Structure 1
């Protein structure tokens, strides 16, 4: 013991003499710079040790003892210099949890995986139309020459009002000219008659309006069908002359059931006409109907915050479906392949950010800020913040995140206070 004291005294005396000798050789600024560098190194490497109460973390003492509030024994703590930590470590300090606590609180984990994800939207609605679907004969209402045959997809699927065959017809050309003529004369009676004939032939209100605006009649007639179906037979070919009433082909209507649902803006932005959709009915468990979205109302034209979505479905059963039956529908809107995924239950959504608690070895846990992408209620896409192979907490993560935030706040508050308290006691 005496040797240690003597050695310390000798070291102090030697440092004092060396300082006295070297001081005249250095300018005051150089001396201050050296002192600042030494203090910075000491401050960076040092860890502040203090004693605190587990139940009252604002209690700090330099020496061991009992808590003045509850009487519990104080425990030793160390606070690292925050300047050496990353931004995430400052906001979300790592915590260690005993294995017995992990079991008692039911803390469960899951792997971060790389897989495909589909954005699905679940809707609740009602059946509003049930039709009997028999094969339909496509009959040409005018005579002419076949100039175009629309070759659809491999299934010969044609959507509602999609052009199937186009004819070059002098008959349709003359009808349009007659209509323009009575329009110029403002002959209301004949305008109504000719307009009705054009409507029967399949001309829409917008097409008739465009004809009046451009005043350019056409000799092409487009044969369409008023519903979605499969073309099972085609009886004509290009440049073939056909007469009025000739059977062009046979079409099998694809959808016999229609249903509608009300959606809000958060769901509406994902919906588009033509998207795949499936439907189930509670009265018939285990069965589903497949179809597609036929119509999505414009949110700007709605008097409320909800808009109507209409979908058509194939009738794949002999069940007695009735109008007004309640349905559950799932719309498949968007998909991404080979992306990082975590269970939806693992993401803590605070409103301003998304946090996931990462499980490390040895009972260590640390919350991490993440940027999320697609969410399908089962999995969430992780754009940044995690890596493949990590483990995340899916049960009990709120307790771990709260504990980490508490420790971060205590560290920010107590670090400068502890230095003051320790300095005042010396």
Structure 2
């Protein structure tokens, strides 16, 4: 019996020893795993602690900043790691971007500079006939065409060249009467008769010839009043012509037009009377000078260009209609404040440049731009020489600004400042209400996805608001539907009342 009791006690002792060893091994394994994986977070709170002193609000993908995550890791959308959003990354009036993220995504900057710019522009041009210098010979009286010079459109003739000969039968009687009166020796009657011949359309040369020779001439010769290009011949042999009928159209070649299509943005470079320089591909190495004679008042709706016309001398007729040329306008030098063209973001209503406050901190600045000069853009207002502006990677800055509501707060501040100039500010006038869904609650700040605010011309968007008092967010959780009241504060807008909307209530 004693032997059985000893065996039982030994078995119990072995069981107790085994349980103790197993418990110790389990404790040692748990401690080892915890030491090997201390950084494995399971909540945003744990993640906040692991980052040290800087408190993390959430993690996000820089390419899709509207998507937020409660722990770090790899983005499900892009082949890149999620980036932490810190509580102190929301500067007043600006936007913050982690410098390492900015470097990874290729954010580049440039310096605002003043440059002496030779303000000139070279544009394609075409040589045209000078339509101001046109001659149209006409028949002075009715008659019959006896002969026409061998002319065709495109011929070049000199001044005084014969166009046509016209037989005028009624001239015969008038000339015979003039000769008879002249033989009487009465100077008064002779002068009156001579004047009558001129009024019938006879040239002075013909009247003097009749008076000198005493012979009747009934054939009128029509000559070109000026030399140039024959564009049209309107008379043929055997035709009957009436008084004032046009016989030909002749355009002078002593000067030509050079016409260019000037982009609308550079219209200020063209002024009537300004000197221009013209180079023609037909005569390489040579340049001709002329003056702007007209800037046509109509813009081409399809190409958004203005027609600029310059007069150019044409000695020897070397310049021919239809030739291609290059016209250079301007040439004056003046100092201008410039930035790279890609630094300016045009929204349709305004132009914005992101200025570097310090590494990782940027501020949107509205600018007024002037002329576009190659890869530079003139800045008339908004910037100072020496400032650094962002020239690439603006998509990242824009996304951050959208998340932090920087542009909306800036636009609202401008609107409030403008209204304050005309009327005194009152607290009641600056208070607004809207419905929203809570996205995140963090200390003295709440992020809301709110509806449009017509009074401020805000669209529906996600925006972070500081709380007037931290107790306002007591009991509010992400996902809650709330009604919030906010007003303008010193550094933007702050929430003064926050109330949860019961389920089934209006959003």
The interval holding the TM-score normalised by the smaller chain is: 0.3 to 0.5
TM-score of the superposed pair, with normalisation by structure 2:
0.38
Say which one has the larger Rg.
Answer: 2
Higher RCO (Cα < 8 Å, 6 or more apart):
1
